[in-house]
């Protein structure tokens, strides 16, 4: 299939596909006329990349999953390098959750300290 069809089937743009190609994530195969050509394996690669990006992975973090698929594995997360990325991402998420829980606790304490009464606000020296 040609680049336009691949873009349409994977919900992306031809510009994005060219970018992925320049980054080495998408193979650069050409036909006799110099047109880019793709197959069903490329559809699977792009779906893997898009799914991971939807989950918050940056483009470079998708590389081990793409390489795993290119190596012939049925899933992009069945290789040790992919699992290592999952572990790092999970640790990042756990740290972020911890930070958010601390912020939430601080806000809850401040809210509770107002006894449910809104604080007096001043604007230009005058009470509102």
Give domain status of residue 93, yes or no.
yes
Give domain status of residue 128, yes or no.
no
120: Cβ–Cβ under 8 A, 6 or more apart, which residues? 127, 128
CATH number at residue 90: 1.10.1660.10
d(CA 66, CA 44): 9
d(CA 95, CA 92): 5
Give domain status of residue 66, yes or no.
yes
Give domain status of residue 119, yes or no.
no
Domain containing residue 57: 3-114
Q: What is the pLDDT of residue 28?
A: 83
Tell me the pLDDT tens digit for each residue of 19-59.
999 999 999 899 999 999 999 999 999 999 999 999 999 99
Q: How many domains does the chain have?
A: 1
Residue for token pair 């992975």: 57
Give domain status of residue 121, yes or no.
no
Angle at 22 between CA 61 and CA 10, to 5 degrees: 70
Hey, what are 75's tokens? 């899933």
Give domain status of residue 45, yes or no.
yes
């Amino acid at each position: 299939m040609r680049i336009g069809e691949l873009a349409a089937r994977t919900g992306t743009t031809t510009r994005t596909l060219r970018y992925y190609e320049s980054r080495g994530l998408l193979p650069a195969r050409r036909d006799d006329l110099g047109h880019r050509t793709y197959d069903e394996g490329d559809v699977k690669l792009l779906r893997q990349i898009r799914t991971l990006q939807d989950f918050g992975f940056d483009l470079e973090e998708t590389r081990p999953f793409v390489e795993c698929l290119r190596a012939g594995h049925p899933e992009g997360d069945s290789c040790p390098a992919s699992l290592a990325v999952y572990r790092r991402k999970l640790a990042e998420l756990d740290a972020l959750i911890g930070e958010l829980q601390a912020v939430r606790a601080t806000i809850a304490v401040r809210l509770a300290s107002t006894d449910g009464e809104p604080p007096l606000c001043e604007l230009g020296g005058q009470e509102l």
